């Protein structure tokens, strides 16, 4: 019989509340014989204030032993901006080589989109997760003077591009429409742009059944709003991916339903699954947060570990739950979690 050894990081604010519901649905969907073991970790603002630590080498060594990580949200206004983002989230993504940052966008029936006419939206962004301008390369000279110069160097390796592009082709090939769009800015960022474009074309030769397309990132933001149905799988670099996935979430039901996976496909390190939304301190502790994004992240987690049928059941439960919301009074975090758990277990 199988087992899942899961590291759970509720984190700050609503992270606590949504993760509890995610775990509830996970327990409900797993077959009796699958053993679920969880251990909770206290990373986040509280620990930072108590110890000054965000994520130590010992923490990483311990986390490494888990099959996967479920994260709620990290961040609090009491911690200076950037400290937890870089010291926890990015550190973990880099340490565990989470090079595939997977962010699906589906506009589920019954969910409102700000776009007129409720377009069809069902695409997934494969955002590179370990390179680009996120590596901290660069610096300042003449610091603090009127002549100060700051550089932020985008790192792009052939190895790093190829592995994420290959992953995106494989995902496109497995989907009915088999279409992959490269998003970059290769008319201006010529060095990185040429490398991405060349590798995109080279790897594409191995996937003749996948239709390819290219868009500059600025044009992509227009089409994400005016013609979201033209997208199936998008592959792009770390920063472009950060920006367009927030836009994608906004047009397909909002961050309340946006899930993500920080994936290391080799499984050499545990992958981490998290809702795209943050800790929302303004509504924390009031059972107002929608746990749906976390529950959908649990489905991504299950798919990654090979529990396809269980992941399908969660997706179907979310779809049914969202479809039934119109005209109903708002429910609490716990009520939505209970409803989803009930749907997946029977």
In the list ligand IPM, Mn ion, none, the entry touching 314 (Cβ below 5 to 8 angstroms by class) is none
Q: Phi/psi at 38 (nearest 5 deg)?
A: -125, 145
Active site residue 242: yes
Smaller CB distance to ligand IPM: residue 65 or 136? 136
Residue closest to 199 by CA, chosen among 244, 239, 164:
164
In the list ligand IPM, Mn ion, none, the entry touching 97 (Cβ below 5 to 8 angstroms by class) is none
DSSP structure string for 127-170: EE-S-BGGG--EEEESTTSTT-EEEEPPB--HHHHHHHHHHHHH
Identify the residue among 90, 172, 180, 340 touching ligand IPM (CB under 6 A). Answer: 90
x-or-dash string of contact with ligand IPM, 218-257, rule CB under 6 A: ------------------------x---------------
Site for ligand IPM in 91-120 (CB under 6 A): none
Window of 58-66, 82-90, 109-117, 145-153 that interacts with ligand IPM by CB under 6 A: 82-90
Smaller CB distance to ligand IPM: residue 87 or 119? 87
Least distance from Mn ion to the Cβ atom of residue 74, Å:
13
Q: Is 16 left (phi over 0), alpha (psi -120 to 50) or beta?
A: alpha
Strand pairing class (100-106; 211-216): unpaired
Active site residue 35: no
In the list Mn ion, ligand IPM, none, the entry touching 89 (Cβ below 5 to 8 angstroms by class) is ligand IPM
Active site residue 185: yes
Identify the residue among 27, 38, 67, 85 touching ligand IPM (CB under 6 A). Answer: 85
Is 242 annotated for ligand binding? yes
Site for ligand IPM in 142-171 (CB under 6 A): none
Least distance from Mn ion to the Cβ atom of residue 260, Å:
9
Residue closest to 273 by CA, chosen among 265, 264, 263:
263
Residue 135: CB atoms within 10 Å: 16
Residue 83: CB atoms within 10 Å: 13
Is 289 annotated for ligand binding? yes
Q: Which residues contact 164 (CB under 8 A, 6 or more apart)?
A: 99, 100, 126, 128, 129, 235
Of 48, 66, 97, 185, the catalytic one is 185
Of 48, 66, 134, 169, the catalytic one is 134
DSSP structure string for 30-57: S-TTSEEEEEE--TTHHHHHHHS-S--H
d(CA 181, CA 169): 10
Q: Phi/psi at 321 (nearest 5 deg)?
A: -65, -45
**Residues taking part in catalysis:** 134, 185, 218, 242, 246
List binding-site positions for substrate.
93, 103, 127, 218
Which residues here bind ligand IPM, judged by CB under 6 A?
85, 89-90, 242
């Amino acid at each position: 019989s199988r087992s899942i050894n899961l590291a759970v990081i509720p984190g700050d604010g609503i992270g606590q509340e949504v993760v509890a519901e995610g775990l509830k649905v996970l327990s409900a969907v797993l077959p009796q014989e699958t053993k679920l073991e969880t251990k909770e970790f206290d990373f986040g603002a509280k620990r930072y204030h108590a110890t000054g630590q965000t994520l130590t080498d010992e923490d990483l060594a311990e986390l490494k032993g888990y099959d996967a990580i479920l994260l709620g949200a990290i961040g609090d206004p009491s911690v200076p901006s950037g400290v937890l983002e870089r010291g926890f989230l990015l550190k973990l993504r880099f340490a565990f080589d989470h090079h595939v940052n997977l962010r699906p966008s589906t506009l589920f029936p019954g969910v409102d989109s700000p776009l007129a006419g409720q377009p069809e939206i069902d695409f997934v962004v494969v955002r590179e997760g370990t390179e680009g301008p996120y590596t901290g390369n660069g610096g300042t000279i003449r610091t603090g003077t009127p002549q100060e110069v700051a550089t932020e160097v985008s790192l792009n390796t052939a190895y790093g591009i190829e592995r994420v592009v290959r992953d995106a082709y494989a995902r496109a090939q497995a989907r009915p429409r088999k279409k992959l769009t490269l998003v970059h800015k290769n008319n201006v960022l010529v060095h990185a742009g040429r490398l991405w474009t060349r590798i995109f074309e080279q790897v594409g030769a191995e996937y003749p059944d996948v239709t390819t397309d290219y868009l500059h990132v600025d044009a992509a933001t227009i089409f994400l709003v005016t013609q979201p149905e033209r997208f199936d799988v998008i592959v792009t670099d770390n920063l472009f991916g950060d920006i367009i996935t927030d836009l994608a979430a906004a047009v397909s039901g909002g961050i309340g339903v946006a899930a993500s996976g920080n994936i290391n496909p080799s499984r050499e390190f545990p992958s981490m699954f998290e809702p795209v939304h943050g800790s929302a301190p303004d509504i924390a502790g009031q059972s107002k947060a929608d746990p749906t994004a976390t529950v959908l992240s649990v489905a991504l987690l299950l798919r990654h570990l090979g529990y396809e049928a269980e992941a399908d059941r969660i997706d179907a439960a979310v779809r049914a739950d969202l479809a039934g919301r119109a005209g109903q009074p708002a429910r609490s975090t716990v009520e939505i979690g209970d409803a989803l758990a009930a749907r997946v277990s029977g």
